[in-house]
A and B are shown apart, each in its own frame.
Chain A
Amino acid sequence: MTDPKFLVEVQELKKHFPVTRGLILQRRVGVVRAVDGVSFSIQRGETLGMVGESGCGKTTVGRTMLGLYPATSGSVVIDGDDILHARGREMLKIRRKAQIIFQDPYASLNPRWTVNSIISEPMRVHKLFASDQDRTERAKELMGLVGLNPNLINRFPHEFSGGQRQRIGIARALASNPVFIVCDEPISALDVSIQAQVVNLLEGLQDQFGLTYLFIAHDLSMVRHICDRVAVLYLGVMMELADRDELYENPLHPYTRALLSAVPIPDPRKDRARKRTILTGDVPSPLNPPSGCRFHTRCPIAMEVCSQEVPQWREAASNHWVACHAVGNPAWSKRLDA
């Protein structure tokens, strides 16, 4: 049933967080549907982008996929192994193959550990080398690989800048020789001139080791640059999924269109000339998501049916998936393009 072309296959993944009240009894008073039935697959060597506003569940997808949060339901297969049902030794084996780079290079490194201990830790956990000395050698090698001076191996995280710390995080992710890495907003805490350095590093490592990435980001310009395909998430469900240029040049979902039109273009003439769809209001609470299509409360073209029926996830064009009642409906095409 698994297609060997795909390294990662996610089926109907759900992650619900219970909301409890009271310190002792912890009565359940509600459920945050952070991820509510998301399916996608990633080919070997591919970079899949995942975009959406804050609170749309992108980070939760990444973390649940790796088993960092226990999933509510669904299945995740990485390189032939079912990660959500794995336990103990089996889980360890999958974890070696699937790693993560976090957004905040300040919070994701233990300030009391040296760079050596940070980068060697995955090798220790997975018993990759016989001795600490070998692991230190490998950690130095990894530092060189990510553009850090290996002589700084006994320094502490606070002695490095944000960009350098992110490189330490990348070296740690590479330490167990993974095949798949979740990049959870790896550049959004960095300065513009440093962002390009880190993105180029990630691309170089991908070429060198044939890595597969899930690239979670809210910077749509950077996603267009680095990703092969892009998935658009809204309130825990997928709205659209297509090849990079297809999505940016021919977006179908009104949400994708609004998102793209909000991205500033660094060219005054072009930026001021284009037509903007400015969404009103904020993302609704995932505690009580809107009925039908979750986007209907902010959608500029919403109709009655949108609040009643969940739109089907379907292939509107070759390899271009979308969930919207209006797409492909001749009566609505005018409204969609207006």
Chain B
Amino acid sequence: MAEPLLQVTDLKTLFHTPEGTVHAVNGISFHLREGETVAVVGESGCGKSVSMMSLLRLIPTPPGEISSGTALYRGDDLLRKSEQEMEDVRGREISMIFQDPMTSLNPVLTIGRQLTEALRVHLGLSQEEAEKRAVQLLEQVGIPDPARRLGDYPHQFSGGMRQRVMIAMALSCAPSVLIADEPTTALDVTIQAQIVELVARLRETLHMAIIWITHDLGVVAGMADRVLVMYAGYIVEEAEVQDLYDSPSHPYTLALLAALPRVDRRRDQRLKSIPGAPPNLLVKPHGCPFAPRCEFVIEKCREENPPLMNVGKDHTSACWVAVTTGLHR
């Protein structure tokens, strides 16, 4: 198999705060192949955004600290690059879009100004060329009357349209990887469907690899090739998308799926809720972080944190218990 586009190994990110050290990302490893869509799923505070922002070195240091790991992008370690070298990576090689398009766009600059900046800086286009390209980009993401809208400010766009502008901006230098951090969470389902369809179409035409961060297992089902499930700064399960939904292996994945109501099914019983709350990351993890909420918990879980183990073809899970048989690993 060809070398993956991105290979992350043992990434750890900490935040040093007055209350103590927050263990946000606790040594995660994963890879991304060319043209592939990987979804990173988990609840707030599970480290999904922090880990991806660490790759792009967007973590403010201090208080943040990337304490270990490597992130090989086309063979080069992103974590060892200088700030100047990173500027050539961000936007050009790897782009990121965020959940809230209103706070990610500068409210006092026109859309045209914000779109052309990357084109001029990264591609060295003249203002005139950059504007021409900006119009094409806005057209590509489905904004009507793009030439006129270049002079508009962010507040003149709706939420869905702003997210399209963000996508246009992220795609402006034709990156190989797009990291999308909950890009549809703030949007209505109808607009979410539009954005998901847009990204799928752009992926086809531009052959991008996508990392899609979300808490919504519904959206994942429709668009991802592979899924990473995160909990408390760890990857607890990784599988091909169909495999994950057919045979979820980690108790947390199982519980998340059971807690979801289904639009396509009649209700049969109460939802199965997960007791308790996600752990406090200020405490250095000891044992499996999900153990206090887990219905399959055994003594070993509280002693020793399970590593990711093979449970099927390209399917790994960090659990001492095989949930289908109840056997211990």
Q: Are A264 and B267 in contact (CB under 8 A)?
A: no
Say yes or no: A264-B245 contact (C-beta < 8 A), given A192-B43, A221-B261, A224-B267.
Answer: no
Write the B272-291 contact mask toward A (1 if CB under 8 angstroms, else 0): 11110110000000000000
A310 within 8 A of B: no
**How far apart sit A272 and B200, CA to CA, in the bound complex (Å)?**
12
Residue numbers in A under 8 Å from B274 (CB-CB): 193, 196-197
The reply to whether B222 and A262 contact each other, CB–CB distance below 8 Å, is no
Q: How many A-B residue pairs have CB under 8 A?
A: 128
- Asked if A265 meets B158 with Cβ closer than 8 Å, knowing A200-B273, A259-B190, the reply is no
Q: Is the CB of B193 within 8 A of A265?
A: no
Q: Is the CB of A197 within 8 A of B273?
A: yes
Q: Which residues of B contact A (CB under 8 A)?
A: 43-44, 158-161, 188-194, 197, 215-222, 241-242, 245, 255-257, 259-264, 266-267, 270-275, 277-278
Known: A194-B277, A196-B274, A220-B263. A271 touches B190 (CB 8 A): no
B222 contacts A258, C-beta separation under 8 Å: no
User: Given that A191-B43, A192-B43, A262-B193 are contacting pairs, would A224 and B261 also be in contact in the complex, using a CB cutoff of 8 Å?
Assistant: yes
Q: Chain A residues with Cβ under 8 A from B257's Cβ?
A: 266
The 4 closest A-B pairs by CB, nearest first: A264-B218, A225-B261, A196-B273, A262-B193
Does chain B have a CB within 8 A of A267?
Answer: yes
Which of these, A221, A248, A282, contacts B260 with CB under 8 Å?
A221
Q: Check A266/B245 contact, CB under 8 A, given A192-B43, A218-B188, A272-B222.
A: yes
- Known A-B contacts A192-B43, A264-B221; the reply to A282 vs B191 at CB < 8 A is yes
Q: Contact between A266 and B259 (Cβ–Cβ < 8 Å)? A: no
Given contacts A225-B262, A262-B192, A265-B264, 5 further A-B contacts (CB under 8 A): A192-B215, A221-B218, A264-B189, A266-B217, A279-B194
Interface centre among A53, A163, A226, A268 (most CB of B within 10 A): A268
A196 to B222, CA, bound (A): 22
The 14 sampled A-B contact pairs (Cβ below 8 Å) are A161-B277, A192-B43, A192-B215, A192-B217, A199-B271, A225-B271, A244-B267, A264-B221, A265-B264, A266-B245, A266-B260, A267-B264, A268-B245, A282-B160
Q: Is the CB of B271 within 8 A of A200?
A: yes
Seen from chain A, the residues whose Cβ lies within 8 Å of a Cβ on chain B are 53-54, 161, 163-164, 191-197, 199-200, 203, 218, 220-222, 224-226, 244-245, 248, 258-272, 276, 278-280, 282
A269 contacts across to B, CB distance below 8 A:
242
Assess whether B255 is in contact with A265, with CB atoms less than 8 Å apart: no
Contact of A191 among B160, B215, B260 (CB under 8 A): B215
Please, which residues of chain A bring their CB within 8 A of the CB of B158?
A: 282
Q: Are A218 and B273 in contact (CB under 8 A)?
A: no
User: Is the Cβ of A192 less than 8 Å from the Cβ of B189?
Assistant: no
A259 near B259 with CB under 8 A, answer: no
Closest approach, in angstroms, between the C-beta of A35 and any C-beta of chain B?
Answer: 18
List, in ascending order, chain A residues with CB within 8 A of B44's CB. Answer: 191
Between B241, B264, B277, the greatest number of chain A beta carbons within 10 A of the residue's beta carbon is seen for B264
Is the beta-carbon distance between B189 and A265 smaller than 8 angstroms?
no
Contact A193 B255 (CB under 8 A): yes
Q: How far is the CA of A244 from the CA of B263 in the complex (A)?
A: 11
Q: For residue B222, which residues in chain A have a CB less than 8 angstroms away from its CB?
A: 264-265, 268, 271-272
A272 to B266, CA, bound (A): 20
A258-B190 in contact (CB<8A): yes
Residue of B nearest to A195 (CB): B259
Q: How distant is the Cα of A272 from the Cα of B264 in the complex, in angstroms?
A: 13
Q: Which of A163, A196, A264 has the most CB of B within 10 A?
A: A264
Task: Give CA–CA (A282, B272) in the complex, Å.
Answer: 35
Interchain CB contact under 8 A, B271 and A196: yes
Query: How far, in whole Å, are A336 and B267 apart by their CA atoms in the complex?
Result: 27
- Given A54-B188, A200-B271, A271 and B221 contact (CB-CB distance below 8 Å): yes
Rounded to whole Å, the gap between the CB of B160 and the closest CB of chain A is 6
| Alpha-carbon gap, A195 to B44, bound state (A) | 13
Report the minimal beta-carbon distance from B122 to chain A, rounded to whole angstroms.
31
